[in-house]
Amino acid sequence: EVQLVESGGGLVQPGGSLRLSCAASGFTFSTYDMTWVRQAPGKGLEWVTYISSSSHTIYHADSVKGRFTISRDNAKNSLYLQMNTLRAEDTAVYYCARLSSWWEVLWGQGTLVTVSS
Amino acid sequence: EIVLTQSPATLALSPGERATLSCRASQSVSSYLAWYQQKLGQAPRLLIYDASNRATGIPARFSGSGSGTDFTLTISSLEPEDFAVYYCQQRSNWPRTFGQGTKVEIK
């Protein structure tokens, strides 16, 4: 089955760190660009970061630049999001998504990150 | 950063009615605009990409139009499963951005 499964969410204190993972299966992960998109509780979608299939090209939203790092391990069919210096406003469901023709076509179910003391 | 403004914020319609949703960009995005549908507790689903192309498996009642700064998503006849939140997104410039969403609710 073609799917993406996120993990690693949870409760973290402000200023803390968390690493999210996204496990891909059912397709050739190494040939697809990937993104992370988040959604704060009751709010809209916010694009977070992008990584090309080879990891050569990376973009981040200004809101996370310098704090979040996207990476991937094509041998493990996995995408990662390292989140440092977390703030209350980073509280959200984080989705990983696979790009096809430059659009987010395949989405995971999301993992909830809560930043609170 | 390109700002996408969606209108209206909420659209109250009955099944069988036509829905017209708008997305306006703060600068031209050419045809690099997509529409997503999101139901409560679910991940978004791609409906329309590059302004007017239906994604795989999307019913023909969904159509998209526009270019430059003004875009429209039309649902020709609302089915019960179409009541949801709809977002537009642009990929013309980094960072990619989403509109704030339009909720289509049952009247």
pLDDT for position B23: 98
Helices and strands, counts by H and E, chain B: 0, 11
Q: Is the pLDDT of residue B83 over 90?
A: yes
Strand duo A10-12 + A111-115: pairing: parallel
Instruction: Mark yes or no for CB contact B91/A50 under 8 Å.
Output: no
Q: Is the pLDDT of residue A101 over 90?
A: no
Q: Is the pLDDT of residue B59 over 90?
A: yes
Mutating which of A103, A107, A111 best tests the B interface, going by the most B Cβ atoms within 10 A? A103
Please compute the mean of the pLDDT values over residues B7-14 and round it to a whole number: 97
pLDDT for position A108: 97
Mutating which of A5, A34, A38, A47 best tests the B interface, going by the most B Cβ atoms within 10 A? A47
Kindly report the average pLDDT of chain B as a whole number.
Answer: 97
Q: In the beta sheet, which residues pair with residue B5?
A: B24
Please compute the mean of the pLDDT values over residues A58-83 and round it to a whole number: 97
- Which residues of B are less than 8 Å from A62 in CB distance? 1, 95
pLDDT for position A28: 97
B76 in reach of chain A (CB within 8 A):
no
Q: Is the pLDDT of residue A100 over 90?
A: no
> Which SS3 state, helix, strand or coil, does residue B107 take?
coil
Kindly report the average pLDDT of chain A as a whole number.
Answer: 97
The model's pLDDT over A2-41, given as tens digits with 9 standing for 90+, comes to 999 999 999 999 999 999 999 999 999 999 999 999 999 9
- Cβ-defined contacts of B11-17 (< 8 Å, 24+): B11/B102, B11/B103, B11/B104, B11/B105, B12/B105, B12/B106, B12/B107, B13/B78, B13/B104, B13/B105, B13/B106, B13/B107, B14/B78, B14/B106, B14/B107, B15/B78, B15/B79, B15/B80, B15/B106, B16/B77, B16/B78, B17/B77, B17/B78, B17/B107
Range with the poorest average pLDDT among A96-105, B42-51, B54-63:
A96-105
Q: Is the pLDDT of residue A74 over 90?
A: yes
Instruction: Mark yes or no for CB contact B99/A46 under 8 Å.
Output: no
Encoded tokens for A53 = 């299939």
pLDDT for position B54: 97
Q: How confident is the model at residue B33 (pLDDT cuts 50, 70, 90)?
A: very high
B38 in reach of chain A (CB within 8 A):
yes
Please compute the mean of the pLDDT values over residues A44-59 and round it to a whole number: 97
Encoded tokens for B53 = 């192309």
For A47, the closest of B43, B96, B101 (CB atoms) is B96
